[in-house]
A and B are shown apart, each in its own frame.
Chain A
Amino acid sequence: MSTSITTCLWALAFTFTSSLGQAEQPPLTFGRVVSLELEARLARKPSIYLKLDLARQVLEIKARGIVLDKVPVKACQGATRQAFHVRTQPMQLRLPVVWEVVTGPGDTDREVIAPTTLRPARRGDEEEEEPSPVPRGTPTPTPTPRPETPSRYRVELAGNLLLWVTDRLPAAGLWHRFLQAVREGWASVVRGEQPPKDPPGFVLLVETEDARRLHHLFRQGMQLLVVAEGS
């Protein structure tokens, strides 16, 4: 009697712990193993890398396999340029995959200081006063206000792909697409401008503050591991 109870308790404990284990780690699939191998390869280098999990809707900032920070992702969608009347088809994304940033806002959005001439440096004995710690209560200099970090930007990825990071999805209804198409057609006829030929891309929708947080990370060489693992 007592033996059967013990067996039952053991069975229950085993079921409970194994279900806990499953909650912590996704089941071992071929894709999961490949993603682990890809991450192990990224973590070998002393660089920051990003891991986007489409199933958990989270973008992790990582280094050496540890999570430094997390950014919740509100949506991730495919983006393509096509005639407004063509029926939209879902975009397939083979996962796991590693994208590499070719050019991002972290490379391009920079303020430049370029003095035109230089005057001779002040000699030590010509200094008006020796630098000293600022006494309490003395106003300290404030830097020139910097322009606010954009919350909508595009990142060029290797393999002719684009990633749009945005805090607001562009209007995607038929009417909006029609108006946009008319605008592009008008520009083409009147000004001779060709419609933009963006390669296929992906739109990552995040909070405004999170888009700004990620802005400087998207620079040349940044690696982005994309998986759909869940947890």
Chain B
Amino acid sequence: MGFPHAIHAREEAVLSRYFGDSDALSLDGWKKRGGYKALEMALGMEPAAIVNVLKDSGLRGRGGAGFPTGLKWSFMKPGDGKPHYLCCNADESEPGTFKDREIMRWTPHALIEGCAIGSYAIGAETCYIYIRGEFSEPLRAVGNALREAYDAGVLGTNAMGTGKTVNIYIHKGAGAYICGEETALMNSIEGRRGNPRIKPPFPAVAGLFGQPTTINNVETLAAVPQILVNGAEWYKKFCLSNPKSTGTKLFSVCGNIAKPGNYEVVLGFPFKEFLYDMCGGPLPGRKFKAIVPGGASVPIQTPEEAEATLMDYEGFVAQGSMLGSGGVIVFDDRQCMVKLIGRFARFFAHESCAQCTQCREGTAWVTRILERIEAGGGTMQDLDTLLDLSENMTGKTICVLSDSCAAPIVSGIKKFRHEFEAHITGKRCPLRTAAA
């Protein structure tokens, strides 16, 4: 549903069906809504069979990269004699994204069930749900749900009376965007600074505590019980565009738009109808200027590009951006692109872990330049410097934080160059002048 708004007729509420329904929070309430049937079913299956269902469903990671979930699970080799781990990435910090927050605060048992099934499927007896420290409500909701699940014997050393061990623990973060990067997250669980690790080795070979590890996003794992109960064919039918993008996806919508909130649509939904029909379009008397469709790390779209987009992994790429985390940020004609892009850059400069020079120095440097241009002290050469720095920040570091900082800058200068030039030639923000 378009939480906090009523469900829209064209939404497909698989994950969001019970958002806002506080009766769904408890174990009993969740069971009344069909909960834990999938786990019961899973514990009676061969792990490989579960992985195959996921492979057939076409489910791809909902955290940003879009890697096929079943394939990721199949990298975990059974019988290698090593402890396996599942990590659930609930460090949702990508600006514009707030879908995992709703999943956890309204349907914590959906996540726990998904984590339990995932753990069993990859041969892990322990799963850590890494929740960002600022998420006090989700921490409470998932914490309460876990206590209930342990008390009822759903989890533990005799999960659902099957004799199998499934332990799930919350690991509370402490304020670091970078811990949403999978190897940084593992370091953070181990009690280290959240520095990303060089890959290879990939987590499936040597991840958490040096052992084979799988890491999945909240939304990915919350979809697993539904897929298992209803079957891969059922899930695959949620497809409006191309067979590489199946299922439903939660999109968080924020910024200058009539009805911000979370909306769940089938992948391939037309972005134009999504923005103007479902989300109510621009605020009265305004028009859209720029859309960042997948969280702060993806290239900015013009309204024309956005209106031509089909909302799936390939569709956003075809129109100059990426699906990313599904965080749709909308800016209208009152907004100064130089200021907003400068603020994104400041975000990345603040969140850089400072391991790699290109990122540590680059994010801070581009921020200073952007803020100078916004204040009216920029030169035309600054634009070349920004593009040159951005090139050196892309594809050259351990993780993609620095690439993410460069993406809105490069696309911003390409698509809104006139606004940058107006700041430089007029020596002030043209929008601020108009308002004054």
A and B are partners in one complex rather than unrelated chains: no
Give the B-binding residues of A (Cβ under 8 A): none
Q: Residues of B at under 8 Å CB distance from A?
A: none
